[in-house]
């Protein structure tokens, strides 16, 4: 299993966490007073909860179910929107007429933006280029430039605007007008109203289906129902009865379920989006208000096989993507060591001191490759080639003058066996190498030379350009910190060749783990 999918539901001074596919209550986390409408970060590592009664925002770590930080914001915060990079959050302060801009990594408010009266909801364009805020007391929507954190225009809409959602193609903004019982559809290109859609009584929030761009869902607090909207026809397709007084809602990443928080009867309605019927109803310990649904963290390892029958793994796959890519068919690792590599000192005033030595990625010497099929091993070949690794050595003489010496390490001659898959004669395979080279010991100076021990890790690859069909999971997670290279004793090559003492560097293949730093 690559990840789990949870629903975070705000109750009375707490957040209840449910496993979406088993409907089991996982945990209940205390937060601030009167929490409102939470939002999960796109990378799945955190959930931000605005606490209306505490004037704070709680940040929850999804992997540990613990509150990482509590951030003071403006008066009566209600809703949160998070940018596509999961680094910046926008919080509506309904009592202050402002939006607090939060740096998620540092847990600090970095800016405060004045908007209209009574801002209650906020959303972000799919490309992150605009932030939209509904001002319930001003009957308007403020459009914010997130680069400058300034309001660039204000759009008049219906009475008491509330929930906001942007279409998947980023062309339309849908605004729920609680006092007008309708939804304003705005062109994001022109900031003008395209249409108005009548819905139920006292509508509250809206959510888009992340897989099917045609559908959006609106909670009707006074009608005890959810309106299913068409983003193309700009009309109501059907109405689904739910619990009493539905407020917040969200759609699972696979687009198959809508989770609806019913404040009036302390329940959660789960809608099957294929049939637009109630698939399940869950009781809650207190009246629920807001809800956010999604996976917990990122895929643990992109190399793990994907189980196409497991909904946990498929939940965040939004499409199958055909890409042209250089596929690695075979690879192997080796290492080379030069225990006494010597460079002649430049003209200068001795004594010299060592400043640095850097290395470029190794290259295969043109014309040196010889590939000979092995008759006794089908699809395997003897591969012979020569590698050059350029270096740049920087020294300082006694006057403080810097000297730069460039050159190549001694040629590395390879004679190895590699797999070449069977294919049509016209298919071209490429032989590629990747190296990482390091100075292993302190340099030794003589009157005319500098001597260093140098080790190089080498990966040889057989690649070919192909078309691959891959599931799209989103952005790759941040890699962990690099491993410190161990101190090498007097005989550097002895430990360098010991795979236990000097393992192949992990940052060639960085692990992909979730983190709540």
* pLDDT value of residue 507: 67
Q: Where is pLDDT greater, at 472 or 351? A: 351
Q: Is the pLDDT score of 108 beyond 70?
A: yes
Q: What is the average per-residue pLDDT within 370-384?
A: 89
Considering the domain delimited by 5-295, tell me its CATH architecture: 7 Propeller (2.130)
Question: CATH 2.130.10.10 region(s) of the chain?
Answer: 5-295
What percent of the chain is predicted at pLDDT more than 70? 90
Contact assessment for residue 225 and residue 241, using Cβ atoms and an 8 Å cutoff: yes
Closest Cα partner for 502 from 513, 517, 487? 487
Q: What is the average per-residue pLDDT within 401-427?
A: 90
Q: What is the average per-residue pLDDT within 367-373?
A: 93
Among 74-78, 85-89, 387-391, 479-483, name the one with the lowest average pLDDT: 479-483
* pLDDT value of residue 514: 53
Give dist(CA 372, CA 219) in Å, integer: 68
Q: Is the pLDDT score of 304 beyond 60?
A: no
Q: What is the pLDDT of residues 170-186, one digit of tens each?
A: 999 999 999 999 999 99
* pLDDT value of residue 300: 40
Contact assessment for residue 159 and residue 178, using Cβ atoms and an 8 Å cutoff: yes
Q: What is the average per-residue pLDDT within 364-384?
A: 91
Contact assessment for residue 462 and residue 431, using Cβ atoms and an 8 Å cutoff: yes
* pLDDT classification of 475: cutoffs 50, 70, 90: low
* pLDDT value of residue 486: 60
Q: What is the average per-residue pLDDT within 161-169?
A: 96
Q: For residue 192, what are the CA distances in angstroms to 123, 143, 167, 187, 196? A: 17, 12, 15, 6, 12
Asked if the peptide bond before residue 18 counts as cis, ω within 30 degrees of 0, the response is no
Q: What is the average per-residue pLDDT within 422-426?
A: 77
Please provide the average confidence, as pLDDT, over all residues in the chain. Answer: 89
Give dist(CA 160, CA 119) in Å, integer: 10
Span between the terminal Cα atoms of the chain, in Å: 23
* pLDDT classification of 197: cutoffs 50, 70, 90: very high
Q: Is the pLDDT score of 84 beyond 80?
A: yes
* pLDDT value of residue 515: 58
Name the phi and psi angles at 153, rounded to 5: -165, 165
Q: For residue 169, what are the CA distances in angstroms to 209, 210, 381? A: 12, 11, 49
211 DSSP 8-state letter: S
Q: Is the pLDDT score of 255 beyond 50?
A: yes
* pLDDT value of residue 303: 44
* pLDDT classification of 2: cutoffs 50, 70, 90: very low
Q: Is the pLDDT score of 488 beyond 70?
A: no
Q: Is the pLDDT score of 76 beyond 80?
A: yes
Cα dihedral across residues 21, 26, 28, 31: positive or negative: negative
Cα 236–chain centre separation: 33
Q: In what order do the strands lie in the sheet with 24-30?
A: 24-30, 14-19, 5-10, 291-295
Q: Is the pLDDT score of 510 beyond 80?
A: no
What percent of the chain is predicted at pLDDT more than 90? 71
Q: What is the average per-residue pLDDT within 288-312?
A: 65
Q: Is the pLDDT score of 3 beyond 60?
A: no
* pLDDT value of residue 320: 67
Contact assessment for residue 470 and residue 308, using Cβ atoms and an 8 Å cutoff: no
Give dist(CA 274, CA 267) in Å, integer: 22
């Amino acid at each position: 299993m690559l990840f789990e999918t949870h629903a975070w539901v705000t109750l009375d001074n707490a957040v209840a966490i449910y496993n979406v596919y088993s409907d089991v209550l996982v945990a209940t986390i205390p937060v601030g007073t009167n929490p409102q409408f939470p939002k999960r970060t796109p990378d799945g590592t955190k959930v931000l909860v605005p606490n209306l009664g505490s004037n704070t925002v709680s940040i929850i770590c999804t992997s540990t179910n613990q509150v990482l930080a509590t951030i003071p914001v403006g008066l009566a915060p209600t809703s949160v929107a998070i940018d596509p990079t999961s680094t910046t959050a926008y919080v509506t302060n309904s009592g202050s007429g402002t939006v607090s801009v939060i740096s998620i990594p540092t847990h600090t408010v970095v800016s405060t933006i004045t908007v209209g009266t009574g801002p209650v909801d906020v959303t972000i364009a799919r490309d992150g280029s605009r932030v939209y805020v509904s001002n319930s007391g001003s009957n308007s929507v403020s459009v914010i430039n997130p680069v400058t954190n300034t309001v660039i225009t204000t759009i008049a809409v219906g009475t008491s605007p509330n929930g906001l959602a942007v279409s998947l193609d980023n062309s339309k903004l849908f605004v729920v007008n609680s006092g007008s019982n309708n939804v304003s559809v705005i062109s994001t290109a022109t900031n003008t109203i395209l249409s108005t859609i009548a819905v139920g009584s006292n509508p509250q929030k809206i959510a888009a289906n992340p897989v099917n761009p045609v559908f959006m869902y609106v909670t009707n607090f006074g009608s005890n129902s959810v309106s299913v909207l068409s983003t193309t026809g700009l009309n109501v397709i059907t109405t689904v009865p739910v619990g009493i007084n539905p407020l917040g809602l969200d759609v699972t990443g696979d687009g198959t379920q809508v989770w609806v928080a019913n404040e009036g009867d302390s329940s959660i309605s789960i809608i099957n989006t294929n049939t637009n019927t109630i698939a399940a109803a869950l009781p809650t310990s207190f009246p629920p208000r807001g809800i956010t649904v999604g996976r917990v963290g990122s895929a643990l390892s992109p190399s793990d096989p994907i189980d196409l029958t497991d909904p946990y793994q498929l939940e965040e796959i939004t499409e199958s993507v055909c890409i042209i890519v250089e596929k690695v068919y075979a690879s192997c690792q080796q290492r080379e060591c030069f225990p006494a590599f010597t460079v002649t000192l430049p003209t200068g005033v001795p004594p010299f001191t060592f400043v640095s030595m850097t290395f470029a990625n190794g290259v295969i010497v043109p014309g040196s490759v010889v590939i000979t099929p092995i008759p006794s091993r089908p699809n395997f070949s003897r591969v012979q080639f020569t590698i050059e690794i350029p270096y740049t050595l920087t020294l300082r003489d006694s006057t403080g003058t810097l000297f730069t010496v460039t050159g190549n390490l001694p040629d590395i001659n390879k004679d190895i066996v590699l797999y070449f898959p069977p294919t049509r004669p016209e298919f071209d395979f490429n032989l590629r190498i990747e190296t990482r080279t390091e100075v292993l010991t302190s340099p030794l100076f003589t009157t005319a030379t500098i001597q260093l021990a140098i080790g190089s890790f080498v990966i040889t690859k057989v690649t070919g350009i192909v078309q691959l069909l891959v599931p799209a999971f989103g952005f790759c997670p941040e890699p962990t910190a690099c491993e410190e290279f161990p101190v090498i004793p007097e005989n550097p090559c002895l430990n360098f060749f010991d795979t236990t003492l000097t393992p192949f560097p992990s940052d060639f293949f960085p692990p992909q783990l979730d983190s709540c730093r």
